[in-house]
Amino acid sequence: MGRLFGTDGVRGRANADLTPELALAVAVAAAHTLAETDRSRRPLAVVGRDTRASGEMLEAAVVAGLASAGANVVRVGVLPTPAVAYLVGETKADLGVMLSASHNPMPDNGIKLFAAGGNKLPDEIELKIEAVIEANGATDWRRPTGAGVGRVNDLLDGADHYVQHLTGTIPNRLDGIKVVVDCANGAAYEVAPVAYQEAGAEVVAIHADPDGLNINDDCGSNHIEALRAAVVEHGADLGIAHDGDADRCVAVTAAGEEVDGDQIMAILALAMRDAGALTADTLVATVMSNLGLRLAMSAEGIRLLETKVGDRYVLEELRASGLALGGEQSGHIVMPAYATTGDGVLTGLHLMSRMAATGRSLAELAAVVTKLPQVLINVPVADRTVGAGAPAVLAAAERAERDLGGTGRVLLRPSGTELLVRVMVEAETVEIAQTVAERIAAEVRLASPAQG
């Protein structure tokens, strides 16, 4: 068996790659790997999902697997991924399961696992779970019977607890701010508007009517065109877009200009520094962050640490170094004082809190970062490792780095969730970046042509 877990859990096309049988096997293996070994009490698991139609099917399989392994299960229904992580900690559960493919299209789904406390799993635990599945499948277990079978209950007020937690983290109210929030027809379609309203903002919600099929469909953090238009139409101070499971947040200004995760991190870093809350005056970002963020933080006396792509690696660095803020250009922002994972709604609240506290517009705050032109090409491939690591591809990237000198950079990265190689180039002009990126992308296509 190849690697089952990608950069953010197990992901694939629901009922094709990610079948109910696989979901059940992952649940059983996770229960046996993560559940409390003290059998004086029964293990407890929290299970949530986003709005995808396939989530209902996969939830049934996961719940059955957990209960068959002797774990009690608390279903929390449709909630953001960070809400499930929060509730794992609040209920003192042994593990949590979130069924979501985040920003991916509706036919996909995924299984995200949390350990006790709501923490994402390190690589070594994922490898243990994979080994257990390979050795035992979903059937070869000594299963409990009778009273040993797990029980299943629903937590009906989980959203209320989560919203109360979120609104309690900001230092000031948001009165006077008008925001349009794009809920991506996803997991935050209820809690995001409520959280922003309860914090004092005037809220216009769009794409907040999920039908199981329209999650991320030309909406949310990957498709902000409708948000731009709505912000201008409603005369709002800003717009906020979440993805399908609401662990991301990107924003737009009153004029409809995008404010990405790099700019949001800079705004929050300065706010936390001014409040004495930015530990060691250090921000954690990934290799995908724009060079402009690094230059802006340096000018402000803030150190920037760099990790591999994936909020899990940002989290690992934050924990290892005891730091207070990190994130990704894509809008995953992590604030360990308040959340164990990236939380889009939490990020939106703190972004607006900075606006309210300073009286400055989002455009003014975001201007601290002058972004270097950046081009990202997602190249479909048959094999991600070959596409990113073929000698001709690496040679093309090295030549480009030499040509750019100190005025830009090249990054090649196989996607952790899709059959893509991401080619990212920064340069002095967008034209140079586009030319260089297309040249390298052509080598990637030659090295591993996409099938079909």
**With 70 as the cut, is the pLDDT of residue 37 above it?**
no
Residues with Cβ within 8 Å of 126's Cβ and at least 6 positions away in sequence, in order, are 4, 5, 113
Helices (H) and strands (E) in the chain, counts: 15, 19
Distance CA 180, CA 238 (A): 7
Most confident listed range (127-131, 165-169, 421-425) = 165-169
Give mean pLDDT, residues 12-36: 91
* Interval 322-361: pLDDT, tens: 999 999 999 999 999 999 999 999 999 999 999 999 999 9
**With 80 as the cut, is the pLDDT of residue 7 above it?**
no
What pLDDT was estimated at residue 19? 96
Q: Beta 282-286 vs 303-307: how paired, if at all?
A: parallel
Confidence of residue 421 (pLDDT cuts 50, 70, 90): very high
Q: Was 50 annotated as part of a binding site?
A: no
**With 60 as the cut, is the pLDDT of residue 208 above it?**
yes
Percent helix, percent strand, percent coil in the chain, to nearest 5: 40, 20, 40
Residue 267 backbone phi and psi in degrees, to 5: -60, -45
What pLDDT was estimated at residue 452? 64
For the record, the structure tokens of 107 come out as 């036919």
Percent of the chain surpassing pLDDT 90: 81
Beta-bridged to residue 374, according to DSSP, are 426
What pLDDT was estimated at residue 328? 95
Give mean pLDDT, residues 15-19: 95
Distance CA 133, CA 25 (A): 6
- The residue from 54, 68, 102, 330 that is catalytic is 102
Q: Was 330 annotated as part of a binding site?
A: no
Give mean pLDDT, residues 208-229: 97
What pLDDT was estimated at residue 259? 98
* Most distant CA atoms of the chain, gap in Å: 70
| Angle (CA) 16 21 26, round 5° | 105
Distance CA 19, CA 17 (A): 6
Going from the N-terminus, what domains does the chain have, and what CATH number goes with each?
10-156 (3.40.120.10), 161-366 (3.40.120.10), 374-447 (3.30.310.50)
DSSP per-residue string spanning 184-214: TTSTTTTHHHHHHHHTT-EEEEES----SS-
* Interval 358-409: pLDDT, tens: 999 999 999 999 988 989 999 999 999 999 999 999 999 999 989 988 678 8
Instruction: Count other Cβ atoms within 10 Å, centred on residue 370.
Output: 12
379, 446 Cβ separation under 8 angstroms: no
What pLDDT was estimated at residue 2? 56
* Interval 40-77: pLDDT, tens: 678 999 999 999 999 999 999 999 999 999 999 999 99
Q: Was 218 annotated as part of a binding site?
A: no
* Interval 158-191: pLDDT, tens: 999 999 999 999 999 999 999 999 999 999 999 9
* 188 CB-side CA count, 13 A: 38
353 is catalytic: no
Confidence of residue 138 (pLDDT cuts 50, 70, 90): low
236, 205 Cβ separation under 8 angstroms: no
From the list 204, 200, 202, 199, the residue with the least C-alpha distance to 183 is: 204
What pLDDT was estimated at residue 4? 85
* Interval 237-284: pLDDT, tens: 999 999 999 999 999 999 999 999 999 999 999 999 999 999 999 999
Quick check: helix, strand or coil at residue 240?
Answer: strand
Q: Which amino acid is present at 286?
A: T
Distance CA 52, CA 50 (A): 6
Q: Was 102 annotated as part of a binding site?
A: yes
**With 60 as the cut, is the pLDDT of residue 1 above it?**
no
What pLDDT was estimated at residue 405? 81
> Is 168 buried (19+), middle (13-18) or exposed (0-12) by CB count in 10 A?
exposed
* Interval 74-127: pLDDT, tens: 999 999 999 999 999 999 999 999 999 999 999 999 999 999 999 988 888 888
Confidence of residue 140 (pLDDT cuts 50, 70, 90): low
From the list 273, 220, 230, the residue with the least C-alpha distance to 254 is: 230
Average pLDDT for the chain: 93
For the record, the structure tokens of 330 come out as 């894509």
From the list 356, 345, 347, the residue with the least C-alpha distance to 325 is: 347
Going across the sheet that includes 374-380, the strands are: 374-380, 420-426, 409-414
**What residue ranges in 44-107 does DSSP mark as E strands?**
44-49, 72-78, 95-99
285, 293 Cβ separation under 8 angstroms: yes
